[in-house]
Amino acid sequence: CGLAARDSLRIEAGLPLYGHELAGPLNLNPADAGFSNYVRLFKPFFIGKAAYIAHEIERDAEIVRFELDNQRARPPHQGDPIIDDRGRVVGIVTSCSVDSDGYQLGQAYLKDEYATANTPVAVFAGSASARQGKALNDLTLGDRIPMPESATVLSRFPKRR
């Protein structure tokens, strides 16, 4: 209960968690998580400075917040893919929790061209656990596969109330 409360609060606030929006399987740095202003590149003895700058030059994605449009949607998990309206994978879910309105609210590493507020996307919620299933051409009648849930990209940090 305590960790779930922490997660719902930090996701609503747009804050990163180490292992999800920082470092973790995607090896994200503070700039990926929206905190580049905390990295002091002007310091003379910055260990990893060259690698950080090289990553920044190549970076084409960032952490964004999103909300599933259906209140009864299956909750996405870390690693679930996010797709655009043409079925292309444009991001990966990093965290998700239920917000104060009862909707699934999450954070994802999303391509820059989809990272603006009110952009429609879709999430294959629960697909991380379904990946061990059959290939699409091996499906038979009665088999179940994950369906994408529609979602909307939100502003990176919520406005104060």
Q: How confident is the model at residue 113 (pLDDT cuts 50, 70, 90)?
A: very high
The residues near 100 (Cβ < 8 Å, ≥ 6 apart) are: 8, 12
Handedness of CA 16, 19, 20, 24 (dihedral sign): positive
Contact in structure between 80 and 51 (CB atoms under 8 Å): no
pLDDT digits (tens, 9 = 90+) for 74-105: 899 999 999 999 999 999 999 999 988 899 99
Task: Report domain extents, the chain.
Answer: 2-40+48-154
CB atoms within 10 A of CB 55: 15
Closest Cα to residue 97, out of 108, 88, 89, 106?
Answer: 106
Structure token pair of residue 157: 């940090």
Q: Which amino acid is at 44?
A: P
pTM: 0.86
CA 71-88-152 angle, to 5 degrees, is: 30
pLDDT digits (tens, 9 = 90+) for 46-69: 888 899 999 999 999 999 999 999
Distance CA 59, CA 95 (A): 20
Q: What is the DSSP letter of 137?
A: G
pLDDT for 131 beyond 60: no
CA 117-63-11 angle, to 5 degrees, is: 85
Distance CA 31, CA 63 (A): 9
Q: Does domain 2-40+48-154 have CATH number 3.30.1360.120?
A: yes
150 SS3 class? strand
